[in-house]
Amino acid sequence: MASIGVVGIGLIGGSIAKGLPEPATVFDSDSKSLELARAEGLRVAGSLNELVNTVDVLFIGVPFEAFDSVFAEVQAAAATREKPLVVSNVLSVMLPVEVTEPNVVFIAGHPMAGTEHSGFENAVGELFERATWVLAPTADVDREHFALLANTVKLLGVEIVVTEPEQHNAIVAQISHLPHVLAAAQILAVPEDDKADSVYGLAASSFRDSTRVASTKAELTAAMVNNNREEVLHALAKLRGSLDAFEELLRAGDDRGVVDLFARAKKQRDEHL
Protein backbone atom coordinates (compact mmCIF):
# COMPACT_ATOMS: atom_id res chain seq x y z
CA MET A 1 0.00 0.00 0.00
CA ALA A 2 1.15 3.52 -0.79
CA SER A 3 2.30 5.67 2.11
CA ILE A 4 -0.27 8.34 2.89
CA GLY A 5 0.21 11.79 4.39
CA VAL A 6 -2.24 14.39 5.65
CA VAL A 7 -1.47 18.02 6.36
CA GLY A 8 -4.21 19.77 8.30
CA ILE A 9 -5.89 17.28 10.62
CA GLY A 10 -9.17 18.94 11.43
CA LEU A 11 -12.47 17.11 11.04
CA ILE A 12 -11.90 15.99 7.45
CA GLY A 13 -8.12 15.57 7.42
CA GLY A 14 -8.22 13.88 10.81
CA SER A 15 -10.97 11.51 9.68
CA ILE A 16 -8.91 10.57 6.61
CA ALA A 17 -5.92 9.77 8.81
CA LYS A 18 -8.03 7.76 11.25
CA GLY A 19 -10.00 5.95 8.55
CA LEU A 20 -7.08 4.41 6.64
CA PRO A 21 -6.25 0.76 7.36
CA GLU A 22 -2.59 1.64 7.92
CA PRO A 23 -1.45 4.61 10.04
CA ALA A 24 -1.05 7.82 8.07
CA THR A 25 1.73 10.33 8.59
CA VAL A 26 0.35 13.71 9.59
CA PHE A 27 1.40 17.29 10.14
CA ASP A 28 -0.45 20.31 11.45
CA SER A 29 0.47 23.77 12.70
CA ASP A 30 -1.52 23.09 15.86
CA SER A 31 0.62 21.25 18.40
CA LYS A 32 -2.40 20.10 20.41
CA SER A 33 -3.82 18.31 17.37
CA LEU A 34 -0.46 16.61 16.79
CA GLU A 35 -0.36 15.44 20.40
CA LEU A 36 -3.82 13.92 20.02
CA ALA A 37 -2.80 12.29 16.72
CA ARG A 38 0.32 10.78 18.27
CA ALA A 39 -1.76 9.43 21.16
CA GLU A 40 -4.02 7.66 18.66
CA GLY A 41 -1.12 5.90 16.98
CA LEU A 42 -0.65 8.13 13.96
CA ARG A 43 2.84 8.98 12.73
CA VAL A 44 3.67 12.66 13.19
CA ALA A 45 6.12 14.33 10.82
CA GLY A 46 8.54 16.87 12.25
CA SER A 47 7.80 19.35 9.45
CA LEU A 48 5.81 19.76 6.28
CA ASN A 49 9.00 19.25 4.30
CA GLU A 50 9.56 15.91 6.01
CA LEU A 51 5.97 14.87 5.33
CA VAL A 52 6.16 15.79 1.64
CA ASN A 53 9.33 13.77 1.18
CA THR A 54 8.21 10.59 2.96
CA VAL A 55 4.78 9.84 1.44
CA ASP A 56 3.36 8.85 -1.95
CA VAL A 57 -0.04 10.52 -1.62
CA LEU A 58 -0.72 13.72 0.28
CA PHE A 59 -4.10 15.10 1.33
CA ILE A 60 -4.25 18.80 2.14
CA GLY A 61 -6.97 19.24 4.74
CA VAL A 62 -6.55 22.92 5.54
CA PRO A 63 -9.35 25.52 5.11
CA PHE A 64 -9.73 27.84 2.12
CA GLU A 65 -7.69 30.73 3.49
CA ALA A 66 -4.68 28.51 4.18
CA PHE A 67 -4.69 26.33 1.08
CA ASP A 68 -2.65 28.51 -1.29
CA SER A 69 0.21 29.03 1.14
CA VAL A 70 0.31 25.38 2.20
CA PHE A 71 0.21 24.19 -1.41
CA ALA A 72 3.07 26.55 -2.25
CA GLU A 73 5.11 25.01 0.58
CA VAL A 74 4.25 21.52 -0.64
CA GLN A 75 5.43 22.35 -4.16
CA ALA A 76 8.68 23.82 -2.87
CA ALA A 77 9.34 20.79 -0.67
CA ALA A 78 8.55 18.36 -3.50
CA ALA A 79 11.31 19.75 -5.71
CA THR A 80 13.87 17.39 -4.17
CA ARG A 81 11.77 14.24 -4.52
CA GLU A 82 12.90 11.38 -6.73
CA LYS A 83 9.38 10.66 -7.96
CA PRO A 84 6.17 12.69 -8.27
CA LEU A 85 3.91 13.23 -5.28
CA VAL A 86 0.14 12.86 -5.80
CA VAL A 87 -1.61 15.69 -3.98
CA SER A 88 -5.33 16.19 -3.40
CA ASN A 89 -7.43 18.52 -1.31
CA VAL A 90 -10.82 18.32 0.40
CA LEU A 91 -12.33 21.77 -0.19
CA SER A 92 -16.03 22.02 -0.97
CA VAL A 93 -15.40 24.38 -3.90
CA MET A 94 -13.06 23.38 -6.70
CA LEU A 95 -11.08 26.50 -7.54
CA PRO A 96 -8.24 26.76 -10.11
CA VAL A 97 -4.94 25.47 -8.72
CA GLU A 98 -1.65 26.42 -10.34
CA VAL A 99 0.85 23.57 -10.38
CA THR A 100 4.38 24.81 -11.04
CA GLU A 101 6.42 21.90 -9.68
CA PRO A 102 6.91 18.92 -12.06
CA ASN A 103 7.15 16.60 -9.06
CA VAL A 104 3.56 17.40 -8.02
CA VAL A 105 0.50 15.76 -9.56
CA PHE A 106 -2.55 17.63 -8.26
CA ILE A 107 -6.08 16.20 -8.43
CA ALA A 108 -8.90 18.19 -6.87
CA GLY A 109 -11.09 16.20 -4.49
CA HIS A 110 -14.09 16.71 -2.25
CA PRO A 111 -15.54 14.11 0.12
CA MET A 112 -19.30 14.56 0.42
CA ALA A 113 -19.36 13.97 4.15
CA GLY A 114 -18.96 15.96 7.31
CA THR A 115 -20.64 17.17 10.48
CA GLU A 116 -21.34 20.50 12.12
CA HIS A 117 -18.32 19.95 14.37
CA SER A 118 -14.66 20.72 13.69
CA GLY A 119 -11.21 19.79 14.94
CA PHE A 120 -9.22 16.56 15.25
CA GLU A 121 -11.04 15.68 18.46
CA ASN A 122 -14.25 15.31 16.44
CA ALA A 123 -12.67 13.31 13.59
CA VAL A 124 -13.89 9.73 13.16
CA GLY A 125 -12.55 7.03 10.89
CA GLU A 126 -16.05 6.00 9.82
CA LEU A 127 -16.99 9.46 8.54
CA PHE A 128 -16.66 8.54 4.86
CA GLU A 129 -18.14 5.04 4.85
CA ARG A 130 -20.70 4.75 2.01
CA ALA A 131 -20.18 8.43 1.16
CA THR A 132 -19.42 9.90 -2.25
CA TRP A 133 -15.95 11.31 -2.98
CA VAL A 134 -15.67 13.63 -5.97
CA LEU A 135 -12.43 13.72 -7.97
CA ALA A 136 -11.74 16.15 -10.81
CA PRO A 137 -8.51 15.24 -12.61
CA THR A 138 -7.23 17.63 -15.26
CA ALA A 139 -6.43 16.37 -18.75
CA ASP A 140 -2.70 16.12 -18.03
CA VAL A 141 -3.10 13.69 -15.10
CA ASP A 142 -2.04 10.21 -16.22
CA ARG A 143 -3.94 7.03 -15.38
CA GLU A 144 -1.28 5.69 -13.05
CA HIS A 145 -1.35 8.67 -10.71
CA PHE A 146 -5.12 8.96 -10.82
CA ALA A 147 -5.42 5.27 -9.96
CA LEU A 148 -3.03 5.73 -7.05
CA LEU A 149 -5.24 8.44 -5.56
CA ALA A 150 -8.49 6.65 -6.38
CA ASN A 151 -7.34 3.41 -4.78
CA THR A 152 -6.26 5.30 -1.69
CA VAL A 153 -9.60 7.06 -1.37
CA LYS A 154 -11.45 3.75 -1.80
CA LEU A 155 -9.76 2.49 1.36
CA LEU A 156 -12.04 4.87 3.25
CA GLY A 157 -15.15 3.04 2.03
CA VAL A 158 -16.37 5.64 -0.45
CA GLU A 159 -17.84 5.66 -3.92
CA ILE A 160 -15.84 7.78 -6.35
CA VAL A 161 -17.53 10.16 -8.78
CA VAL A 162 -15.42 11.86 -11.45
CA THR A 163 -16.65 15.22 -12.68
CA GLU A 164 -15.63 18.64 -13.96
CA PRO A 165 -14.94 21.34 -11.36
CA GLU A 166 -17.65 23.62 -12.76
CA GLN A 167 -20.27 20.89 -12.58
CA HIS A 168 -19.20 20.00 -9.06
CA ASN A 169 -19.49 23.61 -7.90
CA ALA A 170 -22.95 24.01 -9.40
CA ILE A 171 -24.19 20.84 -7.73
CA VAL A 172 -22.75 21.46 -4.27
CA ALA A 173 -24.25 24.96 -4.31
CA GLN A 174 -27.67 23.29 -4.39
CA ILE A 175 -27.14 20.30 -2.11
CA SER A 176 -24.55 21.57 0.37
CA HIS A 177 -24.07 25.31 0.40
CA LEU A 178 -27.73 26.28 0.03
CA PRO A 179 -28.74 24.07 3.01
CA HIS A 180 -26.21 25.95 5.16
CA VAL A 181 -27.74 29.27 4.12
CA LEU A 182 -31.24 27.91 4.75
CA ALA A 183 -30.31 26.59 8.19
CA ALA A 184 -28.91 29.97 9.18
CA ALA A 185 -31.94 31.79 7.73
CA GLN A 186 -34.32 29.59 9.71
CA ILE A 187 -32.48 30.33 12.93
CA LEU A 188 -32.30 34.05 12.19
CA ALA A 189 -36.08 34.08 11.62
CA VAL A 190 -36.57 33.16 15.29
CA PRO A 191 -36.78 36.15 17.66
CA GLU A 192 -33.51 36.90 19.42
CA ASP A 193 -35.26 38.48 22.39
CA ASP A 194 -36.79 36.96 25.51
CA LYS A 195 -39.34 35.10 23.36
CA ALA A 196 -36.64 32.84 21.88
CA ASP A 197 -36.74 30.32 24.73
CA SER A 198 -40.46 29.76 24.30
CA VAL A 199 -39.98 29.17 20.57
CA TYR A 200 -37.02 26.81 20.86
CA GLY A 201 -38.73 25.05 23.74
CA LEU A 202 -41.26 23.64 21.28
CA ALA A 203 -38.68 22.72 18.61
CA ALA A 204 -38.89 19.07 17.60
CA SER A 205 -36.85 16.88 15.24
CA SER A 206 -37.88 18.57 11.98
CA PHE A 207 -36.54 21.95 13.13
CA ARG A 208 -33.49 20.44 14.79
CA ASP A 209 -32.64 18.40 11.68
CA SER A 210 -33.15 21.20 9.18
CA THR A 211 -31.04 23.64 11.22
CA ARG A 212 -28.30 21.25 12.37
CA VAL A 213 -25.59 22.68 10.13
CA ALA A 214 -26.19 26.17 11.49
CA SER A 215 -23.94 25.02 14.34
CA THR A 216 -21.00 24.77 11.96
CA LYS A 217 -18.15 27.19 12.63
CA ALA A 218 -19.22 30.44 10.95
CA GLU A 219 -15.87 31.04 9.22
CA LEU A 220 -16.01 27.62 7.55
CA THR A 221 -19.55 28.06 6.25
CA ALA A 222 -18.91 31.60 5.05
CA ALA A 223 -15.80 30.47 3.18
CA MET A 224 -17.79 27.80 1.32
CA VAL A 225 -20.50 30.24 0.29
CA ASN A 226 -18.18 33.13 -0.56
CA ASN A 227 -15.87 30.97 -2.68
CA ASN A 228 -18.83 29.63 -4.66
CA ARG A 229 -20.67 32.93 -4.79
CA GLU A 230 -22.18 32.84 -8.30
CA GLU A 231 -23.46 29.28 -8.04
CA VAL A 232 -24.94 29.94 -4.59
CA LEU A 233 -26.71 33.00 -5.99
CA HIS A 234 -28.19 30.83 -8.76
CA ALA A 235 -29.34 28.28 -6.16
CA LEU A 236 -30.90 31.04 -4.05
CA ALA A 237 -32.77 32.35 -7.10
CA LYS A 238 -34.24 28.89 -7.73
CA LEU A 239 -35.22 28.57 -4.09
CA ARG A 240 -36.84 32.00 -4.15
CA GLY A 241 -38.99 30.82 -7.04
CA SER A 242 -40.18 27.82 -5.04
CA LEU A 243 -40.93 29.97 -1.99
CA ASP A 244 -42.84 32.46 -4.17
CA ALA A 245 -44.95 29.60 -5.53
CA PHE A 246 -45.92 28.53 -2.00
CA GLU A 247 -46.66 32.13 -0.99
CA GLU A 248 -48.87 32.78 -4.02
CA LEU A 249 -50.93 29.64 -3.44
CA LEU A 250 -51.31 30.32 0.27
CA ARG A 251 -52.41 33.91 -0.34
CA ALA A 252 -54.90 32.72 -2.94
CA GLY A 253 -56.32 30.12 -0.58
CA ASP A 254 -55.48 27.40 -3.14
CA ASP A 255 -55.39 24.41 -0.80
CA ARG A 256 -55.17 21.93 -3.67
CA GLY A 257 -52.24 23.77 -5.19
CA VAL A 258 -50.34 23.62 -1.89
CA VAL A 259 -50.97 19.88 -1.71
CA ASP A 260 -49.65 19.49 -5.25
CA LEU A 261 -46.41 21.31 -4.42
CA PHE A 262 -45.80 19.13 -1.38
CA ALA A 263 -46.66 16.03 -3.44
CA ARG A 264 -44.17 17.00 -6.16
CA ALA A 265 -41.47 17.52 -3.55
CA LYS A 266 -42.22 14.21 -1.84
CA LYS A 267 -42.17 12.33 -5.15
CA GLN A 268 -38.86 13.85 -6.20
CA ARG A 269 -37.18 13.17 -2.85
CA ASP A 270 -38.52 9.62 -2.59
CA GLU A 271 -37.26 8.82 -6.10
CA HIS A 272 -33.73 10.13 -5.57
CA LEU A 273 -32.85 9.84 -1.88
CATH number at residue 80: 3.40.50.720
Q: In one letter, which amino acid is 6? A: V
pLDDT at 262: 98
Q: For 145-182, how does the pLDDT look when each residue is reduced to its tens digit (9 = 90+)?
A: 999 999 999 999 999 999 999 999 999 999 999 999 99
Residues 128 and 119: their CA atoms lie apart, in Å, by: 16
pLDDT at 194: 79
Residues 131 and 158: their CA atoms lie apart, in Å, by: 5
For the chain, the maximum distance between any two Cα atoms, rounded to a whole number of angstroms, is 72
- Whether 268 has a pLDDT exceeding 90, the answer reads yes
Q: For 71-96, how does the pLDDT look when each residue is reduced to its tens digit (9 = 90+)?
A: 999 999 999 999 999 999 999 999 99
Per-residue confidence band for 249, with pLDDT thresholds at 50, 70 and 90: very high
Residue 106 φ/ψ, nearest 5 degrees: -100, 135
Number of domains forming the structure of the chain: 2
In this structure, the answer to whether residues 58 and 108 fall within a common structural domain is yes
In this structure, the answer to whether residues 141 and 181 fall within a common structural domain is no
Q: For 2-59, how does the pLDDT look when each residue is reduced to its tens digit (9 = 90+)?
A: 999 999 999 999 999 999 999 899 999 999 999 999 999 999 999 999 999 999 999 9
In this structure, the answer to whether residues 20 and 120 fall within a common structural domain is yes
In terms of residue numbers, what domain contains 196?
167-272
- Whether 1 has a pLDDT exceeding 80, the answer reads no
| Domain's final residue, options 163, 188, 210 | 163
Tally of CA atoms within 13 A in the half-sphere of 158 that contains its CB: 29
In this structure, the answer to whether residues 156 and 172 fall within a common structural domain is no
- Whether 191 has a pLDDT exceeding 90, the answer reads no
Per-residue confidence band for 193, with pLDDT thresholds at 50, 70 and 90: confident
Q: For 12-22, how does the pLDDT look when each residue is reduced to its tens digit (9 = 90+)?
A: 999 999 999 99
